[in-house]
């Protein structure tokens, strides 16, 4: 059918084929080089998105197609739902004081440093933009660290458990910071600005949404699933879970938060009884949509931006702030016989949450100007790539300095699976091809 | 984030939640009433799409959102891929002469009758429109029949096997007819028209694409999957299959056929070794996207159209043509001790393929006028609903006239699973809630 409406779908179908094939090849090559698959997906996206530099303009338009953009954002929602499914409210409440302190230090310090980098490198931008840029540095993506710890037989160590717990908490903290900055920027757009009291009110609203969604969900979701379990037809469990996730994502958006906050809360709330089966059922949907997100993020990187000294400088400073900022986590290890350096180094990798924040910034405007423009976005992606690349050698070096504990190797394999389940999206697989 | 770009995604997310919840509830109620789930999904869509009649205009816009429209069409592609996965090229070649004759008779007669109904009811429309309308009546959706045969312990009967084989073939024949009419309409739009020789050339092209895709695919796909099986990372099998499906769907579109033709061919080609695992992996994606297709089809029904006598008359005549046309299938049972009436009645139900054709017609234009307008579309959906409703009682009546065969009940359950695997999308589940 050579008419227009059919062709619009055909274009989306072709774009999906190209994006998925690129993601798969990039992911494979990355894993061959001992890197996480998403790094390869990002780099594949960067290559695809910059083919116009070598005279192939068509593919660059993939990332700017409206439907592909929505599919990529749906991919982010599904990804955060999956990440949420891999934890429970109990996990969050039980991480322990030390993990909590590590998480708070590891969120506040990079945020402040990133804010400062923004003020330094983008002096003409609003302080809100600087604050937003700092927020992209907050959330750790622990999959790479989990893999390195496993390879070194240290997955069972106290350091590993602290890093794991802290990475779960800093997702939540990052989402709260995002909610607050988003609301502040929205108010600034209306020309009203926000007093400190109003910022506190927004912070309260964000926390209230999360706590409220988790509390109501914890009471309500078992009943919902018990009720829908009696529905006839196929796919009832998955459909119920998707409707639950989408409704919370929409509610989050309705109260002024990002949809991913609701999707993450929905994943956290779901009972462990369902969440393992659900992880299996949601995974194929993630296999379709999540690589679209990462490749599209890559296509939005403008390689020519790095020809400008100030953007290359911004990327370098952001990376330094991201790495140095997380070393504050080491302070969380004070007063115990821990390898504090390893804790700080293990928290370095950034991933999906930072990319989602930066992408939201591309869509947000402040007085008509994007909060994150495409050159700053490119710098954030480079920061994500560099933090992922720098972690494995640094962590190996740090752990080699301290003697390996006797019991570590024994239970390593078993425990690292839990670690990878927690933050699996940036995980490095064992080369399995299921 | 109350800015526009985020809200666009939030709207899509809310629409998905509403569509999926409506589909699930409608499907449940339909199955409670002994009907297939998709009938409930269609009716849920009709209700949602006509809430503006009772003063709730918002939900009607769900079906006309551009992204939801693309997701619904992606749902149709995934559905035909699933249908294709449930058969193999071998199945198609081995249906036997009798099934082939039944299929050809059951495609040609309703097509001609539907063409005549179009000429009668829409005298001002082009003959191409009449031919297109007839094509929506061609493909049987055998799931309902399979369920009735199972309930009566006749799933192992010769009639059941003939119906099953014929339903697989008439999908292929329907897709070829669609390809030819689509090309004829495209040529007519260019003002050139087509000679009989050119129509023959289009027919050849459609068959050549199908045969070529199947032949090349049969040679190429095992190597492709053997190659990609060596790729590292998660989801390799599913990603490879999706890329293969999307590429063939795009290729079909590029040579002037509907994308679903390519998706169906991709499903057929995939080796049985993979297809069972793939069915399992594709199903969650179908759970997300396929109900979107059926509910959106329902939302496009304009109930007020049936206030016009000519549309109600068109719907009635189309339904009669659909039912009477398939009785020609009984001729395929001549010369054997078969319940010929049961064969004709068992071929009556129409489903996803007819809806997909009608929906393509909504998007096609001939000299600036839609080939299928929304009132004619409403009549086609009513035809699908009525043929599904009329089949179970008619088939039961017909089979009760003939004595049940002794061996039938023994292997019934085993065989009906095969039947349902073949054309599962319109199947009636056993009330299982997985």
For A185-201, the pLDDT digits (tens) are: 888 887 766 677 777 87
Cβ-nearest to B236 among A3, A24, A186:
A24
Which of B25, B73, B231 has its CB closest to that of A433? B231
Q: What's the pLDDT at B7?
A: 67
Is A246 within 8 Å of B16 when comparing Cβ atoms?
Answer: yes
Residue B57: its pLDDT value, please?
65
Nearest-neighbour CA in chain B from A230: distance (Å) = 7
Q: According to the model, what pLDDT value does residue A186 have?
A: 80
Residue A425 reports pLDDT greater than 70: no
Residue B367, pLDDT above cutoff 60: yes
Packing angle, helices A158-189 and A412-422, rounded to 10:
10
B36 pLDDT above the threshold of 90: no
% pLDDT > 70, chain B = 87
ipTM over 0.85: no
| A400 touching chain B per CB within 8 A | no
In this prediction, residue B59 carries a pLDDT of 64
Nearest CA in chain A to B39: A233
Element holding A249 (H helix, E strand): helix A236-254
Which of A233, A242, A371 should we substitute to test contact with B (largest number of B Cβ atoms within 10 Å)?
Answer: A233
**Which of the residue ranges A166-175, A356-365, A410-419 would you say has the lowest mean pLDDT?**
A410-419
Q: Can you say how many angstroms the Cα of residue B138 is from the centroid of all Cα atoms in its chain?
A: 10
Confidence of residue A116 (pLDDT cuts 50, 70, 90): very high
Least confident of B11-20, B28-37, B370-379: B28-37
Helix (H), strand (E) at residue A366: strand A365-366
pLDDT tens, position by position, A11-33: 899 999 999 999 999 999 988 98
Q: Which of residues 362-391 of A touch B (CB under 8 A)?
A: 362-365
B291 vs A contacts (CB less than 8 Å): 239
| Selection from A409-418, B87-96, B123-132 with the highest mean pLDDT | B123-132
More confident residue, B172 or A313: A313
**Closest-CA residue of chain B to A25:** B231
pLDDT tens digits, A35-78: 778 889 989 999 988 887 776 666 666 666 888 989 998 998 99
User: SS3 for B428?
Assistant: coil
Could you tell me the CA-to-CA distances from B406 to A177, A313, B403, B412 in Å, in that order? 72, 83, 9, 11
Tell me what pLDDT residue B334 has.
86
CB B65 within 8 A of CB B12: yes
Q: For the residues of B124-145, what is the DSSP string, one character each?
A: TS-HHHHHHHHHTT--B-THHH
Instruction: Return residues 169-198 of A near B (CB < 8 Å).
Output: 182, 186, 189
Question: Quick check: A291 and B3 CB within 8 A?
Answer: no
Task: Collect all residues of chain B within an 8 Å Cβ-Cβ radius of residue A8.
Answer: 70
Closest partner residue to B429 among A4, A234, A239, by Cβ? A234
pLDDT tens digits, one per residue of A325-356? 999 999 988 888 888 999 999 999 998 888 98
Rounded to 10°, the helix B236-254/A272-299 angle is: 50
Per-residue pLDDT reduced to its tens digit, A134-160 = 999 998 887 778 777 877 788 778 888
The pLDDT value recorded for residue B5 is: 39
Q: Is B235 on the interface with A (CB under 8 A)?
A: yes
B433: nearest CB among A24, A236, A253: A236
Distance CA B265, CA B244 (A): 10
Q: What is the mean pLDDT of residues B70-74?
A: 92
From the candidate CATH numbers 3.40.190.10, 3.30.1050.10, 1.10.3720.10, 1.20.1530.20, the one assigned to the domain spanning B87-268+308-422: 1.20.1530.20
Rounded average pLDDT over A275-288: 91
Contact A1 B258 (CB under 8 A): yes
pLDDT at B408: 42
**Any chain B CB within 8 A of the CB of A309?**
no
CB distance A233–B27 less than 8 Å?
Answer: yes
State residue B319's pLDDT score. 96
Distance from CA of A307 to the nearest CA of B (A): 29
Mean pLDDT value of segment B194-205:
78
In chain B, which among 48-107 make CB contacts under 8 A with chain A? 66-67, 70, 73-74, 77
pLDDT digit string (tens) for A67-112? 898 999 899 899 889 888 887 777 777 777 888 999 999 999 999 9
Please, what is the average pLDDT of chain A? 83
* Contact indicator for B155, B346 with CB cutoff of 8 Å: no
Mean pLDDT value across chain B? 83
* pLDDT for residue A193: 64
Picking from A314, A310, A258, the residue whose alpha carbon sits closest to that of residue A117 is A314
The least confident of A232-241, A251-260, A264-273, A414-423 is: A414-423
Determine whether the interchain pair B1/A182 forms a contact, defined as Cβ–Cβ distance below 8 Å.
yes
Chain A residues in contact with B249 by the CB 8 A cut-off are 10, 13
Q: How far apart are the first and last CA of chain A?
A: 36
Using an 8 Å CB-CB cutoff, list chain A residues near B2.
182, 186, 256
Of B24, B229, B254, the CB nearest to A433: B229
Is residue B3 predicted with pLDDT exceeding 70? Answer: no
In chain B, the percentage of residues whose pLDDT exceeds 90 is 31
Is the pLDDT at B207 greater than 80, yes or no? yes
- In terms of pLDDT, which residue wins out, B427 or A118? A118
The average pLDDT across A389-393 equals: 87
Q: How many CB atoms are located within 10 Å of the residue A142 CB? A: 30
When pLDDT is averaged across residues A394-418 and rounded to a whole number, the result is 57
Residue that wins the pLDDT comparison between B411 and A165? A165
Nearest chain B residue to A281, by CA: B284
A289-337: pLDDT as tens digits = 999 998 988 888 888 888 888 889 999 999 999 999 999 999 988 888 8
Most confident among A240-249, A330-339, B72-81, B302-311 (mean pLDDT): A240-249
> pLDDT exceeding 70 applies to what percent of chain A?
87
The CATH number that domain A87-293+306-424 falls under is 1.20.1530.20
Query: Which of helix, strand or coil describes residue B206?
Result: helix
B21, pLDDT greater than 50:
yes
Would you list the domain boundaries of chain B?
87-268+308-422
């Amino acid at each position: 059918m050579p008419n227009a409406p059919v062709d619009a779908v055909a274009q989306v179908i072709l774009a999906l084929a190209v994006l998925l094939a690129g993601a798969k090849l990039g992911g494979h090559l990355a894993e061959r080089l001992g890197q996480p698959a998403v790094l390869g997906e990002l780099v594949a996206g960067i290559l695809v998105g910059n083919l116009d530099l070598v005279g192939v303009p068509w593919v660059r338009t993939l990332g700017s197609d409206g439907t592909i953009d929505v599919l990529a954002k749906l991919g982010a929602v599904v990804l955060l739902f999956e990440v949420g499914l891999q934890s429970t409210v109990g996990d969050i409440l039980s991480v322990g004081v030390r993990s909590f302190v590590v998480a708070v230090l590891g969120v506040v310090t990079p945020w402040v440093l990133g804010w400062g980098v923004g003020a330094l490198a983008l002096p003409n931008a609003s302080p809100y933009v600087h604050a937003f840029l700092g927020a992209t540095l907050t959330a750790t993506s622990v999959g790479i660290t989990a893999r390195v710890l496993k390879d070194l037989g240290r997955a069972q160590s106290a350091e590993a458990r602290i890093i794991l717990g802290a990475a779960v908490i800093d997702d939540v903290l990052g989402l709260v910071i995002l909610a607050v900055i988003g609301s502040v920027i929205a108010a600034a757009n209306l020309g009203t600005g926000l007093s400190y009291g109003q910022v506190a009110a927004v912070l309260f609203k964000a926390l209230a949404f999360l706590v409220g969604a988790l509390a109501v969900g914890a009471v309500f979701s078992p009943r919902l699933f018990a009720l829908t379990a009696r529905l006839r037809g196929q796919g009832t469990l998955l459909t119920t879970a998707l409707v639950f996730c989408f409704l919370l994502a929409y509610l989050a958006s309705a109260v002024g938060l990002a949809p991913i906050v609701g999707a993450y809360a929905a994943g956290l709330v779901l009972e462990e009884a369902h969440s393992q089966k659900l992880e299996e059922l949601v995974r194929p949907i993630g296999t379709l949509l999540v690589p679209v997100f990462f490749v599209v993020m890559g296509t939005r990187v403008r390689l020519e931006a790095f020809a400008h000294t100030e953007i290359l400088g911004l990327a370098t400073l952001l990376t330094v702030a991201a790495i140095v900022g997380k070393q504050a986590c080491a302070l969380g290890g004070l007063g115990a016989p821990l390898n504090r350096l390893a804790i700080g180094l293990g928290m370095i990798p950034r991933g999906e949450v930072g990319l989602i924040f930066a992408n939201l910034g591309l869509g947000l405007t402040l007085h008509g100007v994007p909060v994150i423009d495409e050159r700053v976005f490119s710098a954030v992606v480079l920061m994500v790539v560099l933090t992922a690349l720098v972690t494995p050698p640094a962590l190996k070096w740090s752990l080699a300095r301290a003697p390996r504990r006797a019991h570590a190797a024994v239970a390593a394999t078993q425990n690292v699976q839990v670690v990878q389940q927690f933050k699996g999206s940036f995980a490095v697989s064992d080369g399995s091809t299921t």
